[in-house]
Structures are given as structure tokens and as C-alpha cells.
């Protein structure tokens, strides 16, 4: 795995492990607490993260062999806006309803699914070589096509954003 990609993957793995360890200390009732009818529970926030990474995995599996994404449609400006919005915890709508949690899974089921996604992600990331490091592998709905390093940076910031939201949710549940 390329060093910059390995670093991002390792960071994501560490953050995920630490978050799941924290969540293990809460009851199922607390994890399913919602501050309002249109608010997510911590379990639903985890489901959203799993769904997003699964979507990422599907796109990358398609685009690693030969990218079908047009680099001319990328928007570095929009990419920076997305990262800034996530870092500042600005609430935005989910870009597509397929990314919405359905609330149908237990935390155990979600963690098992996430484990499988991360295992497949690692295998795919190991396929990225220097020649293909700048290939477009993921299409963000607002930022457009991203290369692997940009995609992993987005996933990292996205993860942090939702981890902070889970902290707020769980503080209200107590």
C-alpha cells in the first residue's frame, strides 16, 4: 500500500476502533436514543457511516481497474468546501436518500458489516500503485471525482464529523 494511503487507512482504523470501544460502554437504549423525530440515534449515525463506506467500496471496485470518471468534472474548490463544512459541523442534508440510515440493524450487525467493508477496502487499497494514485476512483455528489488520497481524506473528515455528532447525541441521552 502506498505510504500516504496506508497512513489514512491506519488513521481511519484507529478512529473506528476507538469509537466502537466508546460505544460499547452504552446501553442499547442509549445508542438508540433520538433527540427528535427527525434526528438520528448513535446507531443510525453508525449505519450512515457504514452505508457511505459501502458506497465508496462499490465505486472504487468499479473505478480501480479503469476509471470511468472524468477528471475535468472535479472541483477542488467544492472539495475544500465539503471538508470545511464537515470540520465545522455544519448540518447538511444527506446528498442522496440511499445514504440515509433505515434504523433496521443492531449495532452488532452494523459492526459485522463494517468489518467486512473494511477488509475489502484494505484489499482494494493495496492495489493502488504510484501510476494509478491520481486516478479518479470516487464521485462525491458535490465535489465531483476524487482520487484515492482525496477520497480517504473525505472519509476521515466525514467520520470525525459524525463521531462528534454521536458524542452530542449520547450526552443528551444521559
Decide if pLDDT at 65 tops 80.
Answer: no
List, for residues 76-135, the tens digit of each pLDDT value.
Answer: 999 999 999 999 999 898 988 989 999 999 999 999 999 999 999 999 999 888 988 888
Question: What pTM value is reported for the model?
Answer: 0.93
Q: What is the pLDDT of residues 152-168, one digit of tens each?
A: 999 999 999 999 999 99
DSSP string spanning the chain? --HHHHHHHHHHHHHHHHHHHHHTTS-HHHHT--SSTTS--HHHHHHHHHHHHHHHHHHHHHHTTS--S-GGG--HHHHHHHHHHHHTT-----SSGGGS--S-S-HHHHHHHHHHHHHHHHHHHHT--GGGTTSEEEEETTTEEEEHHHHHHHHHHHHHHHHHHHHHHHHHH-
CATH number, residue 30: 1.20.120.450
Domain count, the chain: 1
Domain range spanning residue 133? 3-173
Amino acid at each position: 500500500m502506498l505510504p500516504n494511503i496506508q497512513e489514512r487507512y491506519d488513521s481511519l482504523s484507529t478512529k473506528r476502533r476507538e469509537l466502537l470501544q466508546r460505544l460499547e460502554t452504552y446501553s442499547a437504549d442509549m445508542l438508540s436514543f433520538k433527540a427528535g423525530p427527525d434526528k438520528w440515534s448513535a446507531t443510525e449515525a453508525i449505519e450512515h457511516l457504514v452505508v457511505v463506506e459501502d458506497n465508496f467500496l462499490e465505486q472504487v471496485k468499479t473505478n480501480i481497474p479503469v476509471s470511468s470518471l472524468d477528471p475535468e468534472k472535479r472541483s477542488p474548490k467544492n472539495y475544500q468546501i465539503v471538508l470545511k463544512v464537515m470540520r465545522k459541523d455544519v448540518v447538511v442534508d444527506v446528498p442522496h436518500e440511499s445514504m440515509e440510515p433505515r434504523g433496521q440493524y443492531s449495532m452488532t450487525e452494523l459492526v459485522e458489516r463494517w468489518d467486512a467493508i473494511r477488509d475489502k477496502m484494505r484489499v482494494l487499497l493495496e492495489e493502488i500503485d504510484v501510476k494509478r494514485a491520481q486516478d479518479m476512483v470516487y464521485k462525491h455528489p458535490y465535489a465531483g471525482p476524487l482520487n484515492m488520497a482525496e477520497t480517504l481524506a473525505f472519509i476521515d473528515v466525514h467520520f470525525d464529523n459524525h463521531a462528534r455528532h454521536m458524542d452530542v447525541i449520547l450526552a443528551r441521552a444521559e
